[in-house]
Amino acid sequence: MASLLPLSGILGHRSAAHLLRRTSFRYNKEKVDQLASITAAEAVAALLAPQPLQMDQPVYDNPNTPVIENTAWLLPTNLPLPDGQLNLRRYVAGWWLHEALHDPGITHRMALFFHQFMAVSILAYGNQHYFDYLRLLRWGALGNFKKLALKMVTDNSMLLYLNNHDNLKYNPNENFAREFFELFTIGKGPQLGPGDYTNYTEDDIALAARVFTGFRARGPRDHYDPETGIPRGRTVLSEHDTKDKVFSAKFQNTLISGAKTAEDMWLELEALVDMVFAQEATASTFCRRLYRWFVGKKINAEIENDIIAPLAAAFRSGNYEIRPVLQLLLKAGTFSTPTTQTARMKSSAT
């Protein structure tokens, strides 16, 4: 029976191994033994605890110095690319894999979770900006989903990868707006008619694209998000649609006032994100995605009612903080053993 009731008693080796396989890239006997001797709540708390990086950035072997001397080039952010090293992406990828394999917790597994639907390519803007993207995912992996969605709008790699760099007031590009609604946040839901979906309309996409106009990628990494300290894109008021936007009944006919200054563009962007996250479907879509990532692909009516719905309610009431929702899901008795999961998947398939 599907339930979020926590597993009672000591976790044991079977459940500890199942939990660790699903949540961490650092799976070994020593860690399984450690988790097996504590409760599910204690094990999940340990996995959710913040973990330091082994290295704050990639390094490469400088050809002009002995091999034992490694050179950093990404932090601080104003350092130029090393001479003769225009393509260092393999070092960025190697750094991330190294950190993931040394992370005893869930952070890198969650970063990969977000990467699957907030994806960019390292080819979009090179290794420096892709490094910033990876840092942003790690920053938000166990933080606040609403904040992460907001900050992802102006990630330099994302601005180029989904064409918002080319989204101008006289030539709107809807690619990013469509992905922001359909993949990043609220989801479509079943189609009800031409241009009309359960959770939004095509007109809402066009209006959101107008909100996103004028946010441009920035080559030099000299514009920083004040909260994360990570480089981000910039605002160009002359390329922004300053008219008011009135969304459909799916969003209670919300009016978002057009920005008249470059600073107000950030406020207009926040108003759009607030509108999307005020909808119950945004939390439900995220929690279904979380369930499929950690538990199983099949979601039947029982799972929807007894797991997804209470998770989504907790997510909304907690102002979209990710850690409490993970605690509810991962310490639940219905998650904690592979035997239970196998039975649930068989039940949902019938």
Provide the residue ranges of all domains of the chain, joining segments of one domain with +: 12-51+281-349, 106-278
Q: What value does the mean pLDDT of the chain take?
A: 92
Mean pLDDT throughout 241-250? 98
Question: Is residue 117's pLDDT more than 90?
Answer: yes
Mean pLDDT throughout 142-149? 98
* pLDDT tens by residue, 44-95: 999 999 999 999 999 887 666 655 567 888 998 877 776 656 678 889 999 9
Report pTM. Answer: 0.93
Cβ contacts of residue 155 below 8 Å, gap of 6+? 120, 129, 132, 133, 136, 232, 233
Question: Is residue 345's pLDDT more than 60?
Answer: no
Residues above pLDDT 70, as percent of the chain: 92
* pLDDT tens by residue, 155-171: 999 999 999 999 999 99
In angstroms, what CA-CA distances link 334 with 1, 306, 312?
A: 7, 11, 17
* pLDDT tens by residue, 184-215: 999 999 999 999 999 999 999 999 999 999 99
In angstroms, what CA-CA distances link 116 with 44, 88, 101, 154?
A: 23, 23, 19, 18
14-19: long-range pairs with CB below 8 Å, 24+? 14/337, 14/338, 15/40, 15/336, 15/337, 16/43, 18/336, 18/337, 18/338, 18/341, 19/43, 19/44, 19/47, 19/330, 19/335, 19/336
Helices (H) and strands (E) in the chain, counts: 16, 8
Greatest pairwise CA separation for the chain in angstroms: 66
Residue 10 is encoded by which pair of tokens?
């000591």
Q: Please, which pLDDT band fits residue 349 given cuts at 50, 70 and 90?
A: very low
Give 234's strand partners: 216
